Amino acid sequence: MAEVGADLCPRLETDRLVLRKWEARDLDGLAEMNADPRVMEFYPSVLTWAESEEMLARYVEA
């Protein structure tokens, strides 16, 4: 059976990439991307800072 939980999320690293769980320090970059119309082109709309903050809170809890 697969284990689930943020503490069990592995950190994967290569020479060019790091995959890790979301952290509070990611808010600035996430909010900047979510506010960019080019990034959000295929989404209904760009997100406000508050919406990005709520999104990150959901990601951190998962």
Q: At what angle do helices 49-61 and 27-34 cross, to 10 degrees?
A: 130
Residue 4 — very low, low, confident or very high, per pLDDT cuts 50/70/90? low
CA distance 62 to 56: 10
What pLDDT is stored for residue 5 in this prediction?
Answer: 53
Residue 2 reports pLDDT greater than 80: no
Taking the alpha carbons at both ends of the chain, their separation in whole angstroms is 18
Q: What backbone torsions phi and psi does residue 12 show, to the nearest 5 degrees?
A: -110, 130
Q: Are 24 and 31 in contact (CB under 8 A)?
A: no
24-36 per-position pLDDT tens digit = 999 999 999 999 9
Residue 1 reports pLDDT greater than 50: no
pTM, two decimal places: 0.76
What pLDDT is stored for residue 9 in this prediction?
Answer: 79
Where in the chain are the domains?
21-61
